[in-house]
Amino acid sequence: MTNEPAVPAQLGRPERMWQRAVVLVLIAVTRTARPVFRLGDRELSCSHSNGGWTLSLRPDGKAIFYGQDVDCSDTTYRGDKPVDLLVNAPQWLPLDRLRELNDGYELGYLYWWEEDRWNRAPYPAFVDDDGLAASCDGYAGIFDDKSLSDSFADAGYRDPEAARRFVQRVARGTVNASAFKDLMDSASEQSPLPGESCVPTALEWATRLGVAERPAAEHAV
């Protein structure tokens, strides 16, 4: 291992990445019946034909971001064996699962957030690209607000004011049926999914993601 750990410019604070990722999920569920996202306990994964990524938040403020692009992750295929991405990894990581991915040629990068910064293992000199950016291609809205705006436009939502309103609702945790209808009405072309089936499903996702508007009775408790 020769390269000092370096953090890609794309990586920001994990809570902001999570918020943008939630928006990406909710955009997707208004346009497709089979979104590429999977939600676990404070863990969100995106899988596509060339790989994918996972963002996991912990209650103690720590976080993990890992994934792979099968074409661009030099850490996986350029050497005689995968680069050991768990060098210097802290014990609080899910080490057994990550070791299985690493040794199974399924892990291109692994970053962990603690002490208010991202960290990773050092890379050998031959690693030019760990696949981070490529693994998020099409979902780069997780990285910054400009890319998130592009994600709205790519989905057919080209009204920036409607997109801004929706992002604000997500940030406030007040997403409801009206918020989805407002976004969907702004589309430059009709969604392939009928609204009467799409909105309830989208609301289920919003609830699971913790950004759905709570009933008035719950606010009063």
Number of domains in the chain: 1
Q: pLDDT tens-digit profile of 80-104?
A: 899 999 999 999 999 999 999 999 9
Q: Tell me the residue range of the domain where 54 lies.
A: 14-209
Asked if residue 1 belongs to a domain, the reply is no
Query: With a threshold of 0.95, does the pTM exceed it?
Result: no
- Report residue 217's pLDDT band, with 50, 70 and 90 as the boundaries: very low
Asked if residue 168 belongs to a domain, the reply is yes
Reply yes or no on whether the pLDDT at 137 is more than 90: no
Asked if residue 215 belongs to a domain, the reply is no
Asked if residue 220 belongs to a domain, the reply is no
- Report residue 1's pLDDT band, with 50, 70 and 90 as the boundaries: low
Asked if residue 82 belongs to a domain, the reply is yes
Asked if residue 34 belongs to a domain, the reply is yes
pLDDT, residue 179, reads 97
pLDDT, residue 221, reads 43
Segment 150-166 shows an average pLDDT of 95
Asked if residue 113 belongs to a domain, the reply is yes
Q: Write out the DSSP string of 54-111.
A: EEEE-TTS-EEEEEEETTT-HHHHSSSS---TTTT--TTS-HHHHHHHHHTT--SEEE
